[in-house]
Amino acid sequence: MNKLTVVILAAGEGTRMKSFLPKVLHKLNGRPLIRWVLSAVAPLKPGKSYIVVGHDKKQVCSELSKDKVIFVEQKKQLGSGHALKQVERYLKRYKGNILVLCGDVPLIQKQTLSNLVSIHKKQNNAATILSSMIDNPFSYGRIYRLPSGQVRGIIEEKDATDRQREIKEINSGIYCFSSPVIWDALKKIKSDNKKKEYYLTDAISFLSDMGENIGAYPNAKFEEILGINNRADLARAEKIVRGNILKNLMLNGVTIVDPENTYVSSQAKIGTDTVIFPGTVIEGKTSIGKNCRIGPYSYIKDSVLADNVEVVSSYIYSSSISKRVKIGPFSHLRPGTKVKEGAKVGNFSETKNSTIGAGSKVNHLSYIGDSYLGKHVNIGAGTITCNYDGVKKYKTIIGDRSFVGSNVNFVAPVKIGPETLIGAGSTITNNVPKKHMAIARARQVNKVKKKK
């Protein structure tokens, strides 16, 4: 077995979130909090990873069902020390190191954790605390050291003397313990406090009393150990993550006109010389090429945009956009849309599960669903593909270089050959051969108005 085991504490109800969703499943930049923690520990390649679950465990287990983790239930939430104790039965014979983290501390970095584990091993400690130095440590547990520098324990704000409150080194709630000695210390902790809970911090003092080496690694940035207790904390973490993402993009050649009003997923990729205008939201695994202009006020999710694409005030979901395409303003591209090179989808037009061929134009007020448009097709204003009969969806095919007049309805399934002309106001219910003109509307009749 790899001599590192990970335990993530994720059993708490998170009452201050005021939510039916378990706290660790609330999303930060589009990903559940606990997934951020799992991503941070993955590069350490632990032998086994345990997640202690409790409140609404079904939702947490369902979210992580495909991950290589072992779920351990804490039936009663009796504190962090009690939570870790639930894992003891799995690790009775384990001799190695245990990295303990909280599922609601999402910004911890893999390098910080790696350093913590390395120092723990190097100093041969029974416990090593990840700590941080901050100017205003109010409300945090302080790292109490002996004159020699040896850690003696963790003192909570309410129990600290005035002098101890001046200590600026605080506890992060992240630890590296040695097994099996940690289990001996956990047996000694008591619940003689207001909440009647067993605190993991008490184990530090007991380990010290047992003559074990205790260390602390004080190099964690404060933002790394920010715990999410309520939605205000979540918003604070979101701002930190977003700021880091945008800074990295700008340092790599992307122009962000207004970082305070731009939102980009940590999974997104954006090419050099692309300009992102205010009010733009880019979510999921979106990829945007070079020299694009995106926004203002556009929303793009899980889509691929090639180079030199322009998107103005539009929504794009799970779509593929080729080079030199123009989208918007006020376009809605639904999943399955493919817009080929040099094409355009314009004002108040909607597409779904359709291919818009190279050089084709769907300029305004049209709906193109379950369709295939060839190259250089012109779609007139108000064109509708009637693809759904209430039971099934059918396909419309329009050949290369066809011209469709305004206010045309295509009742699918229907196939329009290349180089055809469809008269304005037509409702097309039958196939149209190549190089033909189709007009499907009643003949106009003018009558004299009768006088009243």
Which residues are annotated as catalytic? 364
- 215 strand-pairing partners: 128
CA angle 269, 346, 422 (to 5 degrees): 130
97 in Cβ contact with 5 (< 8 Å): yes
d(C-alpha 239, C-alpha 356), whole Å? 38
In which element (H, E) is residue 99 found? strand 96-102
Q: How far is CA 439 from the centre of its chain?
A: 50
What contacts 227, CB < 8 A, 6 or more positions away?
Answer: 102, 104, 105, 173, 233
Three-state DSSP class for residue 204: helix
67 in Cβ contact with 50 (< 8 Å): no
In which element (H, E) is residue 414 found? strand 414-416
In the structure encoding, which two tokens stand for residue 101, read together? 């983290």
DSSP annotation of 393: B
In which element (H, E) is residue 154 found? strand 151-155
Distance from the first to the final alpha carbon of the chain = 98
Could you write out the three-class secondary structure of 61-85? HHHCCCCCCEEEECCCCCCHHHHHH
Q: How far is CA 205 from the centre of its chain?
A: 39
At residue 177, φ and ψ (nearest 5 deg) are -115, 155
d(C-alpha 325, C-alpha 343), whole Å? 5
In the structure encoding, which two tokens stand for residue 10, read together? 């994720």
CA distances from 2 to 45, 197, 364, 391 (A): 8, 32, 61, 56
Place of tokens 């889509």: 303
DSSP letters for 215-267: EEE-B--GGGG----SHHHHHHHHHHHHHHHHHHHHHTT-EES-GGGEEE-TT
Tally of CB atoms within 10 A around 181: 15
